[in-house]
Each structure stands twice: as C-alpha cells, then as structure tokens.
Amino acid sequence: MGSRVNTVLTIPEPGKTALVQKPYPSIKAGYVVIKTEIAPVCLEGTRIWAEHDFEFHDDPQHLGHEGVGTVVDVIDGSNFSVGDRVIVFQGDHCGQCHACNSGLSPTYCDANDPDVVGPDNAAMHGIERRNDSASGGFAMATHRIAPEANLYKIPDALPFRYAAAANCSFGVGFSNQENMDVKAGDTVLVGGVGFIAMGHVISALYRNATVIALMRNAYRRQLLTDMGVVHFVNPDDPDWLEQVRALTYRGQGVDHAIDSSGVPYYQERLIDATRKYGNINFSGHTPGAHLELHPLKHVIDPAHTLWGQHDVRARDRERLIRALCNPDVQRMVDVMVTHEFPMSRASEAFELQVSKQCGKIYLWTQQ
C-alpha cells in the first residue's frame, strides 16, 4: 500500500474545514477498504461545524458515518471483490450480541456501544483500533474501512446517488416504518420537517399511506409538495387539531405520528393528534429539550405505543434497496437531495445546512 494516502475532512474549529492527509488504511480479516464516492451530510453542519458539539463517536479529526463507494482492497478469503459497489451501514459488527443475532440496527451492536466496550473501542474509532489503522473509520474521507457484515452490494442498475439515501434519510424512515408496520390506507402525520422526516414522507408515500405535514418552513413545504404531499397544517393555527382530524377516517386521529423536531412544541401536538392505539415515533432530537411525559395521559389513556430507532435494521436492508430501485422513490429522492458539493467545498455545504434552506446534502468525497 506504500505511499498511498487517505485525504480526510476535519473541522479544526467552528466554522472552519481543512483537508488533512493521513496514512492509507490497513485492514484485518473481516474488513475491506472502500473508496467512498458520496458521504451524505447528517448533523455535521448544525452540530459540529456550527457548534463544535461532538458525540462519543466523532471529534474534529473524525467525521461522517453515512456513505456509498467502491471496494478497493480486500484480504484473501473476503466475500467481496475489488470493484464491488457498496452501501456502508455505519459502525462495527460483533456478530454475537442481541442486535446482531436478531437482524437489528448495527447502532445497537455491542461493538458500537461505548457503555459496553468503552468510548475508544466503540463504533468507528473502534474500527480503526481493531484494524491497527491510522485512518479509515469514517465517511468524510477519500477512503474508509468497513466490516463486511455491514456492507450491502448495490445492484448494477442503481446509481450511487439513490443508494446513498439508504442511511439517515430514506433508510431511517423506511426501517422505522417497517418496525411500526405502516400500511396502505394509513394516515401518517409528520411534524417539524428535516431530512429524516423527508425520508419518512418518501417511505409513507411509497406505501400508499396518506401524509399530513405539520410544519412552517416554506422552503421544505415546497419540497414535500414536489414529492406529492397535498395536506399541510400550520401548527400555529388555533384550529390545527381540527384541521388534522378532519383529514383522518371518521375524524378519529392519525394512525402514526412522526416527530422530526426533537422539541415539545411539536411532540405534544403529535401525541394529541394520534388516534387510540396509534403509534408515536421519535425520529429527531434537540439537545437540551425535554418532553414532560404523563404516563396516564400520554400512554395509558390513549393506548399509544412509543417508538424510536437510529439507523436501519439489518433485516430491512433488502426491502430498502428494492424500494430504492423504484422509479417513483428515485423521483422523490431527487427532490429530497437539494444540493451536492465536492468535499473540498464542505464549508459551503455545512453553512447551507445551518440555514435550513435545503433538503439532504451530499458530499462527493473524491472531488
């Protein structure tokens, strides 16, 4: 591997990016090296670039978890070949925990849990450590290491830009809706619309559910209109609840309510608008925000079920990729992905994300 290098995106201080050259990744059995093509922006803009606020799995030198690319290095005996196009479902894989044995999301694998293996050994830092590699655990770089168990081979006919929606946008919405069993004829209310909610909207429309959007952001309202959503309610309207109920069967309330805002302003409304025995899904969080939950009022009396899940369950991967091959899903992904930037211009991408005048943003890492 000699003189090859890995070009890695860093955010050394708030509002600043820098490309840094690190040693090319080294791998051990069970892992491959991928030349990443697209690293979609998750919360790197709002959380890290703007605030320098980090979670256990990232820091100024280690950024990005979503991605697609091409396998460029394997070890003898690998199930993958150089040239395979793959989706990376983030994190490591232990193969033996409850999540691994049940086909659940790798976020819940013991190998990615800092409380089980310690923060230095968990998730993508752990991938670099277990491979004795000086780089490669993360998505916002030209090259990345991933465990074979968390790779999915992309069908030849599926372009990278649609496969890249398999992580924290359409993928998360799709897997949460498999979990909740969203069906044709159901009514789905989304509140506070960001890119995860947009993934939920695409998934709900793909399932022939009726979508109602409780939202105020005019730019994103136009995106949902372009996807095919026709029902919008302004949560500031005094009669917002009557408006939502009027759109549901017998006025009984929505079957599924999905929060993408992470704030009680929306969460309380979503709970109020859900029918008896309906589902409440939490797909967003805002640091410092707290919902005051009254078990009798919010759960027992309405018989609500509360849901939430990061990431994509392994058991949902095939159906997710089959959905991404659907032309109407691809049309909606084209609406959701409003901007694409070369990684060398990542600051512009992050600034745009902070403005909220965008849908999902892609970084092309080889440019």
Contacting positions for Zn ion (CB under 5 A): 42, 66, 94, 97, 100, 109-110, 168
Query: Which one, 146 or 168, has the nearer CB to Zn ion?
Result: 168
Other C-beta atoms within 10 Å of 68: how many?
Answer: 28
Instruction: Using the structure block, give the residue that is written with the tokens 């074979």.
Output: 148
Query: Which one, 271 or 321, has the nearer CB to Zn ion?
Result: 321
Which candidate, 194, 202, 153, 152, places its Cα nearest to that of 176?
Answer: 202
Rounded Cα gap, residues 120 and 308, in angstroms:
26
For the bound state, the minimum distance from the C-beta of residue 224 to Zn ion, rounded and expressed in Å, comes to 20
For the bound state, the minimum distance from the C-beta of residue 147 to Zn ion, rounded and expressed in Å, comes to 10
Query: What's the full length of the chain, in residues?
Result: 367
Query: Which one, 55 or 301, has the nearer CB to Zn ion?
Result: 55
Structural contact between residues 231 and 263, judged by C-beta atoms closer than 8 angstroms: no
For the bound state, the minimum distance from the C-beta of residue 41 to Zn ion, rounded and expressed in Å, comes to 9
b/e burial code for range 277-290 (CB count within 10 A of at least 16 → b): ebbbbbbbeeeeee
For the bound state, the minimum distance from the C-beta of residue 2 to Zn ion, rounded and expressed in Å, comes to 33
Query: Which one, 173 or 302, has the nearer CB to Zn ion?
Result: 173
For the bound state, the minimum distance from the C-beta of residue 28 to Zn ion, rounded and expressed in Å, comes to 17
Q: What counts of helices (H) and strands (E) characterise the chain?
A: 12, 15
If DSSP codes are grouped into helix, strand and coil, which group holds residue 163? helix
Query: Which one, 41 or 209, has the nearer CB to Zn ion?
Result: 41
